[in-house]
Amino acid sequence: MKDFKRLLGLIRSYKVYAGLNILFNLLTIIFSVFSLGMIIPFLKLIFGMDTLVNAPAHFAFNQKDFIDYVYYLMSLAIKNHGHEQVLFYISVITAIAFLFKNFFRYMAMWILAPLRNGIISDLRNMIFNKIVILPLSYFSEKKKGDIISRATNDVQDIEWTIIGSLELLFQHIITLAAFIAILFITNYKLTLMMFILLPVSILIISYLGKILRKESRVAQKLMGSILSSLEEALSGLRIVKGFNAQKKVYGKFVGLNNDYKRTATSVMRRGDLSAPISEFFGMLVVSIILWYGGNLVLNGKGELTGEKFIFFVLLFSQMIPSIKALSTGYYRIEKGIASAERIFGFLDADEVITEIENPIRKNDFNNSIIYTDVSFKYEEEFVLKNVSLELKKGMKVALVGSSGAGKSTIADLLPRFYDITSGSITIDGVEVRNLKISDLRELMGIVTQEAILFNDTVAANISFGSDTKTIDEIVEAAKAANAHEFITELPNGYETIIGDRGNKLSGGQRQRLTIARALLKNPPILILDEATSALDTESEKLVQDALQKLMINRTSLVIAHRLSTIQNSDIILVMEKGEIVEKGNHQELIDKRGIYYRLNQLQNTDS
């Protein structure tokens, strides 16, 4: 129930709505009881079943005096206006009472809508905020589809189960409490008889609810797997078609979908048990009341009159829908708690890159970046081992080596996409973990092998993260990145929507947009991660020209497979199995005739 309590804690921001909902529910109950409680006594007086009261009565806050006072007022009305006229008044008053009852019932639901949707909106915001602050290491171990499922299906499930049940809880708990209080006043013995079967029904419903929660947890996990399968198929559709693997991925999806169908069917069936079980026990209680209460009336000892007994049965019958609703609400909550557990499990993930208290602010780069004995591991095995290097301001430092050597990891540690396991990284003598993260990343421009673009306009992609830039500045950045010419040929120029991940553009065009984005940001430090390795010769020439412009008067950390692109670097570091094994400029490394020399010879032979 811990997650349920946390969910209820979100109501604090909407306590005004919750308070008004309770008020409107109370008014609903008042008019409901008034409309029921006034009809029978009036009709008995009108039809001569009770004698009209002649002696004046006075209002008082106790049951007998209050009833006597009401009967006196009714009798007075009949004497002054006649039976037929009073019957007309009673009909009108009853209709008005039911009108107000349903009006306030609607108002209770109306005022709950912003509370309900507000909590769901807050949950989605919390999840998205968590997504953008979690380090990359978290997502390397999780399926994207499962995370998407938590932000969509699990949140939606909470809306339809827990948040939807709040309406039932607010309305029907108050209704039941008020009705039970009135029943106790009417006859406490009959009311106590109501609770004979209560423990049995609670135990049965609680047992089924626990099973429901367990199965719901499995169902939500399966839905996450379904979305992961869908996301993988969409991302790799070209490969799926190219390798004729449609049947394979379809079979995997169908298998997951069938597992979900079976589990969801079981969840539905258990959830559907709530209404019949609660109604059965409700009618069982009615049967006991009819037997026990009927005997009290037939005894004729005045302990319970026929009128009170009829009122009691009518009022209890009004409670049965509320009892059913509470039972249904309980089942929904048990189902929703499974989703809440998944959501709060994600929100509680502690793999967060944190800032120290009162971090150092820094908005410039003046001297050097120094890695000192830096080691890093994702899980158990180290991928970097005691790496030391220095990037002085204005230098171009290149990293080369085979895949898995640790080149990209070195680059990712600088903007704190990951935190080092040991050692230190400093900028101008300040440890990066002591800097404000936003300031640290503002110093850097990043161009990766995979051009990361968004389903937006060309202009919006270039100015991403630089929202204050003008269109003229965007155009200048595009020109410097050799992108302006192809942009102007697009249907709507800079306002052209480029599709999901920029799929309407070629690889070279996408890469030039990312370079334009980095140019527009105008950072003092550049990280270029194999930015031309996936391009054809013509595109590579255009991108290389743009990169050369980008690196002018900037400190650059360059990762490349093609050695021809980094021969003019100030320092080239050769990496192998997480360690720097060679260091020097191009000519020095060629003269050493080591690993770099062999890589260079191999690439020259291939070309």
Same domain, 95 and 41: yes
pLDDT of residue 401: 86
Asked if residue 12 belongs to a domain, the reply is yes
Same domain, 423 and 516: yes
**H/E segment holding residue 383:** strand 382-392
Asked if residue 354 belongs to a domain, the reply is no
pLDDT of residue 57: 58
The whole-angstrom separation of Cα 440 and Cα 344 is 30
Percent of the chain with pLDDT over 90: 16
- 391: Cβ–Cβ under 8 A, 6 or more apart, which residues? 368, 369, 370, 397, 555, 557
**H/E segment holding residue 61:** none
Same domain, 38 and 89: yes
**CB–CB of 447/514 below 8 Å?**
yes
Same domain, 336 and 377: no
Asked if residue 81 belongs to a domain, the reply is yes
Strand 571-576 relative to strand 396-401, pairing: parallel
Token pair belonging to 41? 């006594």
Asked if residue 352 belongs to a domain, the reply is no
Same domain, 258 and 402: no
Same domain, 440 and 303: no
Asked if residue 355 belongs to a domain, the reply is no
* Residue bearing tokens 């419903």: 205
Question: Any idea of the CA torsion for 60, 65, 66, 71, to the nearest 10 degrees?
Answer: -140
Same domain, 284 and 403: no
Task: Read off the DSSP letter of residue 160.
Answer: I
Asked if residue 230 belongs to a domain, the reply is yes
Range of the domain at 450: 368-606
Boundary (domain end) residue, out of 295, 318, 347: 347
Same domain, 150 and 102: yes
3-state per-residue secondary structure call for 537-566: HHHHHHHHHHHHHHHCCCEEEEECCCHHHC
HSE, CB side, 13 Å, CA atoms: give it for residue 120.
22
> What tens digit of pLDDT does each residue of 271-319 get?
777 778 777 777 777 788 888 888 878 876 666 777 778 778 877 777 7
Asked if residue 286 belongs to a domain, the reply is yes
Q: Specify the CATH number for the domain of residue 562.
A: 3.40.50.300
Same domain, 407 and 482: yes
Asked if residue 247 belongs to a domain, the reply is yes
**CB–CB of 590/560 below 8 Å?**
no
Same domain, 187 and 127: yes
Same domain, 288 and 183: yes
pTM above 0.85, yes or no: no
Total number of domains constituting the chain:
2
Strands (E), 345-381: 368-377
Same domain, 386 and 324: no
The whole-angstrom separation of Cα 137 and Cα 563 is 29
- Give burial (CB, 10 Å; 0-12/13-18/19+) of 3: buried
CB < 8 Å & 24+ apart, contacts of 75-83: 75/45, 78/45, 78/46, 78/52, 79/52, 83/46
Helical segments of 447-555, H only: 458-462, 471-480, 484-488, 507-521, 537-551
Residues of the chain with pLDDT under 70: 1, 34-72, 166-168, 170-171, 197-198, 238, 243, 300-303, 351, 530-540, 605-607
> What tens digit of pLDDT does each residue of 51-105 get?
666 656 565 555 556 666 666 677 777 777 777 777 777 778 778 888 888 899 8
* Residue bearing tokens 């009518």: 314
pLDDT of residue 323: 77
The whole-angstrom separation of Cα 463 and Cα 444 is 15
